[in-house]
Amino acid sequence: MTDRRSLRPLSGALAASPTLERLLRDDPLLHVIPTICPSGLRFEGEIDLCSRDLLAAALNEEVQFGIGDLHVDLTSVTFIDVAGIRIMTTAARRLSRDGRRLLLHGMPPCARKVLQLLRWETTPGLMLCIGALQRACSTGSSRMTDRNGTRRL
């Protein structure tokens, strides 16, 4: 389920961030939409040099102020560069320090390949989920692979 009432994040701490609010308003290439079930973020558009500040700010706010695992839906991302993938692995590493995980749903196949080539799929706290975030939420299950590449149901 996606909350489309606004592009502002759900928590008060997120909404209070002037940098994130400015980036949300000013970036035409990437849209950040908070999700409710499960709690996380959905990205739509392109993640590249022009939009990586927005990606970093949104993930940083969720890492700092969020609770539990962070689900990120990339199903509607049309392009992601290596720097964008690196920002996500850095967020996963930070989450793992608190016993939390970054679950990536619907990651484009080319981005998965980059993760494998650079061996970033073994990043602590990173879990690649197969399928869209909404399907995982509505059915109550999702096929996932852990950081060792083992598929889970």
Burial 71-102 (b: 16+ CB within 10 A, else e): bbbbbebeebbeebbbbbbbbbbbbbeeebbb
Q: Can you give the pLDDT at residue 131?
A: 73
Cα separation, 32 vs 44, in Å, equals: 7
Q: Can you give the pLDDT at residue 57?
A: 92
Whole-number Cα distances in Å, 69 to 21, 37, 48, 62, 120: 23, 12, 25, 10, 19
Q: What is the pLDDT along the chain (153 residues), one digit of tens a residue?
A: 444 333 334 444 444 455 666 666 666 789 998 888 788 999 999 999 989 989 999 999 999 998 899 999 999 999 999 999 999 999 999 999 999 999 999 999 999 999 999 999 999 999 999 877 654 444 444 444 444 444 333
Cα separation, 68 vs 99, in Å, equals: 8
Question: Does pTM surpass 0.75?
Answer: no
Q: Which secondary structure element, helix H or strand E, spans residue 56, and what is its range?
A: helix 52-65
- What are phi and psi for residue 96, nearest 5 degrees? -65, -25
> How distant is the alpha carbon of residue 124 from its chain centre?
15
